[in-house]
Amino acid sequence: MAGLKSPVNEKGSDKMTEIHEAAQSVTEEMPAMIGKSSLPPRLAAELHAHGYLRERLKAEFPDLDDETLADTLEGETELNAALAALIRSREEDLSLITGLKARLDALKGRLERFQERAEAKRRLVADVMSRAEIKRLVEADFTVSLRTTPPSLQIEEEEAIPADFWKPQPPKLDRIALGDALRAGRKVEGAALSAGRPSITIRIA
C-alpha cells in the first residue's frame, strides 16, 4: 500500500485490509456474475472487483482524493493490467492486419497481372486466327472457334448524348448536412442523434 495519502494511513490500514479481502471474496463469486456479462471472464471479474472496492473505499474514506483513490484501486486490483494486456493484444492484431494488407495488395497486383496476361493471349490468338482465316482450332485438350462479336458501345463525347439516353438518378441523402443540423439542435423528422459511446485514444511510446 506504498504511496497512500491521508486519510489512508496506519489507522486506516486495517480497514484497507478488510476492504481488500472483501474485494477478493467478490472476485471468488465472479462465475455467477460473469454469466450475465458480455465481457471476457477475466475482464468481467476485475471490473466487478474494481467497482466493489471503489465503492467501499469511498464509503469508508469519504475524504479520499481522486488521485489516491485511483492509485489504491490500481494497486489492489488487476483491472489496469487486464486493460493493458488487451491493448497490447490489439497492437499485435494491428501488426498482423498491416502485414496481411501488404500481402493482399501484393497478391491483388499479381492477380491483375495474370488476368491482363491471359486476356492479352486470348486477343493475340483471335487476331492471328482472323488474319490467317482459321475458323476452328482443334486440339486434344481444347477447341477454339473464331467468331465476330456484336458491335460494342463506345462513348466518344458523353456531354453530347441526348437526354433520352440518360437515366434520372435517385436523390442521395446528405448524411453530413443532416448530422450537422441535428447537432445544431434542429429537429428533423425520421432522424435523431444516437447516444455517444465511450472512445479511447491510444499513443504508442
Q: What pLDDT, on a 0 to 100 scale, did the predictor assign at position 7? A: 44
pLDDT tens per residue, range 89-120: 999 999 999 999 999 999 999 999 999 999 99
Higher pLDDT, 11 or 168: 168
Q: Residue 62 falls within a domain, yes or no?
A: yes
| Mean pLDDT confidence for 178-186 | 94
Question: Could you report the per-residue pLDDT of 18-27, keeping only the tens digit for each?
Answer: 655 655 555 4
pLDDT 10s digits, 33-44 = 545 568 888 888
CA-based end-to-end distance of the chain: 28
Residue 94 lies in a domain: no
| Residue 43 resides in a domain | yes
Q: Is residue 40 part of a domain?
A: yes
Q: What is the mean pLDDT of residues 46-60?
A: 85
> Is 59 inside any structural domain?
yes
Q: How many domains does the chain have?
A: 1
Assess if residue 169 is contained within a domain.
Answer: no
- For 108-114, the CB contacts below 8 A with 24+ separation are none
Q: For residue 89, how many other CB atoms are within 10 A of its CB?
A: 10
Residue 190 falls inside a structural domain: no
Does 89 reside within a domain?
no
CA distance 186 to 179: 10
48 is in which domain, residue-wise? 13-77
